[in-house]
Structure formats: structure tokens, C-alpha cells
Amino acid sequence: MQNAISGFSKLSKTQKIDWLLETYFNNDESSRKLVTQYFNSDEKLQKLHDEFIENTITNFYLPLGVAPNFLINETLYTIPMAIEESSVVAAASKAAKYWLERGGFKAEVISMVKIGQVHFTYAGKKEDLLNFFTTVKSQLISDASPITKNMERRGGGILDIELRDKTEELDHYYQLHATFETLDAMGANFINSCLEQFAETLKLEAEKSLEGQLDIIMSILSNYVPDCLVRAEVRCKIEDLKDKDIPNPGAFAEKFKQAVSIAEVEPHRAVTHNKGIMNGIDAVVLATGNDFRAVEAGVHAYASKDGKYTSLTHCSIDNGEFCFWLEIPLALGTVGGLTSLHPLVKFALQMLGKPSAKDLMKIVAVAGLAQNFAALKSLTTTGIQQGHMKMHLMNILNQFEATESEKTQLVEHFKINTVTHSAVVEAISKMRK
Ligand code: MEV
């Protein structure tokens, strides 16, 4: 077994690569070349990226694509998407174009409340704690004022702090459940700093005036933000759904609605259905420098808020009108964090017209809805593989290091032949004979 290494983080980048080569690659210089060829020649830019995380050895590319023609609340957007899955951007672009011709997307932010909690235990009398909290609450807020004053000046800050009794679920467990308005910031640092200050005040004041033992367990924001909600929708008359893949719009609408209903009642399908939504959401969240893990965790928790995992989108057909919508929690920022550091994030945000956090919530929700529309449209009409394999063709060709001329010929060939991995391999081999 490989020996553990100590002090790895103190090594220089070159020393780290040396250690990796020696330990795992038999000092193979071609592996060094592989890793170092991803360095940016602009040293300042490279340093910026190196310092985003600890122990950086190189850059890991993801394609940044764009999906144009998104009409959202009467404004046209070109949406940036960072994603590796071959069909996602194409599907988004198709859905954008389809709905552009049918009035576009509508989106609204329903609420913007973020949440953080101080988790603590208290072994004394419940009543004493309740009284203590009533007296200490204003001090919790005032002690945090050095942290909150700038946010307050801009119109945000702490909205409220509640004491929550959780002792029925866990012995002696209570929490300060705090709500925040963080405006255009995602707010993680702001919220966590406030919470740590609340915890300090709580502990100090409890030592002075509470009999029972109060112990702080931890202070952290919650990524479950059911009151930071956005809704996106599309609607049109059933007959207007018609296009080349939808010769019978009435039958299509019914089948589409049925597909959504299946995801509403069947968790196995709901997970895949929502995964498709997240294809669109994560790609925009990542391209705009936001935390896609936080978004994923919060969105999936929301999908099970009523005790059973279900679809995030819904569909109705009323009075000859088709309506398809999505409602999700999204805690996003357009200032601070990576948004002001990563040059491509700045580029992406500028492309979106320097959106506020609210605008970005709408754009991201629309990207999710569009993605789900595209997936369900394919699944209920032509099937998904036709489009997927066409996109996958290029990946297979690249695996075989096809030349530009081979690519052109094979793309032409597969316009009329079914793409399967073996069919592509066979066609390349035949061509190369
Ligand atoms: C693939 O990444 C996403 C889909 O599976 C989504 C869906 O099934 O709705 C196509």
C-alpha cells in the first residue's frame, strides 16, 4: 500500500505533480505533459485559478456553450451553460426556439428568504430558556450589527430569529432558526458570520443568566430554502403546439401531461425527470459562478417536501390551453464569491445583462423548464436516443481520433443511418481500410 504523505499542501505545484508522477505514473513524462498542457499561458490567470482551491495541480476543462433565443418576460436572453453532456445545450436551444414562436417563457420570483440555524443543546427548564430567549433576542441582532450594517444599508439583513424546540425529536436539542434577506448575494458567508456571532452571544449570555447548561453544537446556513422560490411557465393554445414532430397537438398535449403525471406519482421516474431539469439548471448555475451542490441539495429536498419524492414540473390542459410550469427554490448570487473573480463567470453574467439575483433565479428556472420540456417532447414523440446518439457521434469520432475529413463523411453517413456505438466503429474501420 502507498505510504501516506504529510505536508502535501505545503509543496509547490511542481512538487505536487512530481509526487503524483512518482507515486502513480511510474515517472512517466507523458503524464506530466498531459497535466501541464492544461496550464494557462497567462500566469496571472493561472494563479487566480490555482488559488480557488487547495492543492490545485492543473485546470479541468468543461465546455461553456450558449443557448440563444430565450424569451423570458419579453426580454431575449442568450443563456450560458457549462456542461459536459452532449445533448443538453442543443435541447435547451431547441426548446427556446420552440417557445419563442409561442410567446416565450414567463417567470416570477415568489419569495427571497434565506435560512440559517444555530443548533444547540440545553439541559435546563424549557420555560427558563424561552424567557431567556425573549430577553436576549434583540442583543443577538445588535451584537451582529458590525456584520449586518452594510447589508442593511442596501436593504437586506436579518429578518427574524426564532427559538425552535426540537426536544421531541432529540433530547435537549433546540435551535435558533434565523431568516435573512441577502439581496444579490447568495449570502453564505454573510449568514454563517451572523450565525457564529449569534452563537457567541447566546453562549456568553446563557453563562451569565441561565441555570442549565447550554452547549453550542454548530452554526450553519441551510441549503433548504423553500421560501426562496421561483416559478417559470409556458402556455399556449393546444393547436399552437403543432410543429414537425407534433402533427397532432391534441394527442401530444395529452401524452405530455401523462408523462408529467407519471413523474408526479412515481419516484423512480420523478428522479430521472428532475435530473433532466437539473441538466439545465446546473449548467447555468455553474456558468454563473454559483454553487450547484447547494442548489441540487435544496431542489431535491423541495421535491420531497410533502413526504414523497415527486416531479418539480406540472402540466395542465384547461379550456383548450396547455400550461407547463416549474416551481423551485434557488439561492443564487450575482455579486460576491466567484461572480467577481472568475473571468468567464463575469463574461456569462454580462451576456445575461448583469442580472440581479432575482433575474438570475428566473433565468435558471426557465433553463430547467426548457430542458424538461425538450426531454419530454422527445421522449413522448421520437424517443430520446435519436437526438442523443447524433450528439454522441462526435464523442465516438473523437475517441477514434477521426480526422476532419473522416468526421465530415461520417456525419453525412449517419444523417441517414442509425447511430449506435458499433455502427460508428464499423463505419470508421471500413473507411480506414
Ligand atoms: C438525460 O440526461 C436526461 C433525461 O433522462 C431526462 C428525462 O428522462 O426526462 C433525458
3-state secondary structure 226-294: CCCEEEEEEEEEHHHHCECCECCHHHHHHHHHHHHHHHHHCHHHHHHHHHHHHHHHHHHHHHCCCCHHH
Return d(Cα 334, Cα 184) in angstroms, integer: 6
Task: Determine the pLDDT at residue 391.
Answer: 76
The pLDDT of 36-40, averaged and rounded, is 97
Mutual orientation of helices 145-153 and 126-143 as an angle, nearest 10°? 60
Span of 34-43, 242-251, 385-394 with lowest mean pLDDT: 385-394
> Where does CATH 3.90.770.10 sit in the chain?
64-111+226-382
Distance of CA 124 to the CA centre of its chain: 42
CA of 374 to the centre of ligand 1 (A): 9
**Residue 105, strand partner residues:** 72
Task: Determine the pLDDT at residue 1.
Answer: 67
Q: How many C-beta atoms surround the C-beta of residue 239 within 10 A?
A: 11
- Residue range 90-132, pLDDT digits in tens: 999 999 999 999 999 999 999 999 999 999 999 999 999 999 9
Instruction: Give the confidence band of 14 by pLDDT, cuts at 50, 70, 90.
Output: very high
Return d(Cα 147, Cα 140) in angstroms, integer: 12
Mutual orientation of helices 404-416 and 385-399 as an angle, nearest 10°? 160
CA of 371 to the centre of ligand 1 (A): 9
Decide: 280 in ligand 1 pocket, CB within 6 A: no
Q: What is the DSSP letter of 155?
A: T
> Which of 87, 277, 279, 326 most suits a substitution to test ligand 1, by most atoms within 8 Å of the C-beta?
279
Residue 306 pLDDT > 90, yes or no?
A: yes
The pLDDT of 21-38, averaged and rounded, is 97
| b/e sequence 196-205, b meaning 16+ C-beta within 10 Å | bbbbbbbeeb
Residue 278 pLDDT > 90, yes or no?
A: yes
Residue 365 pLDDT > 70, yes or no?
A: yes
Q: What's the burial of 9, exposed, middle or buried (CB within 10 Å: 0-12/13-18/19+)?
A: exposed
**Residue 216, strand partner residues:** 120
Q: Tell me, which fold does domain 64-111+226-382 have in CATH?
A: 3.90.770
Q: Is 40 left (phi over 0), alpha (psi -120 to 50) or beta?
A: beta
Instruction: Indicate which residue of 275, 358, 390, 413 is catalytic.
Output: 275
Residue 386 pLDDT > 80, yes or no?
A: no
- Residue range 415-430, pLDDT digits in tens: 888 888 899 999 999 9
Mean pLDDT of the chain: 96
Instruction: Give the confidence band of 331 by pLDDT, cuts at 50, 70, 90.
Output: very high
**Residue 323, strand partner residues:** 235, 316
- Residue range 247-277, pLDDT digits in tens: 999 999 999 999 999 999 999 999 999 999 9
Instruction: Give the confidence band of 2 by pLDDT, cuts at 50, 70, 90.
Output: confident
Residue 385 pLDDT > 80, yes or no?
A: no
The cell numbers describing 155, all together, are 436593504
Closest residue by CA, ligand 1 atom 2: 276
For the chain, how long is the longest CA-to-CA vector? 87
CA of 246 to the centre of ligand 1 (A): 20
Q: Tell me, which fold does domain 114-222 have in CATH?
A: Alpha-Beta Plaits (3.30.70)
SS3 213: coil
> Where does CATH 3.30.70.420 sit in the chain?
114-222
The cell numbers describing 375, all together, are 426531454
Q: What is the DSSP letter of 120?
A: E
Decide: 114 in ligand 1 pocket, CB within 6 A: no
Residue 303 pLDDT > 90, yes or no?
A: yes
Q: How many C-beta atoms surround the C-beta of residue 122 within 10 A?
A: 22
For 397, what's the count of Cα atoms within 13 Å in the CB-facing half-sphere? 22
Output the DSSP codes for 62-109. --EEEEEEEEETTEEEEEEEE---TTHHHHHHHHHHHHHTTT-BEEEE
Task: Of 79, 109, 314, give the one whose Cα is nearest residue 230.
Answer: 109
Atom of ligand 1 nearest to the CA of 88: 2
Instruction: Give the confidence band of 341 by pLDDT, cuts at 50, 70, 90.
Output: very high
Task: Of 57, 58, 20, 21, give the one whose Cα is nearest residue 38.
Answer: 58
Kindly provide the residue ranges of all beta strands, DSSP E only, lying in 84-182, ordered along the sequence: 106-109, 114-122, 157-165, 173-181
Decide: 263 in ligand 1 pocket, CB within 6 A: no
Q: Is 27 left (phi over 0), alpha (psi -120 to 50) or beta?
A: left
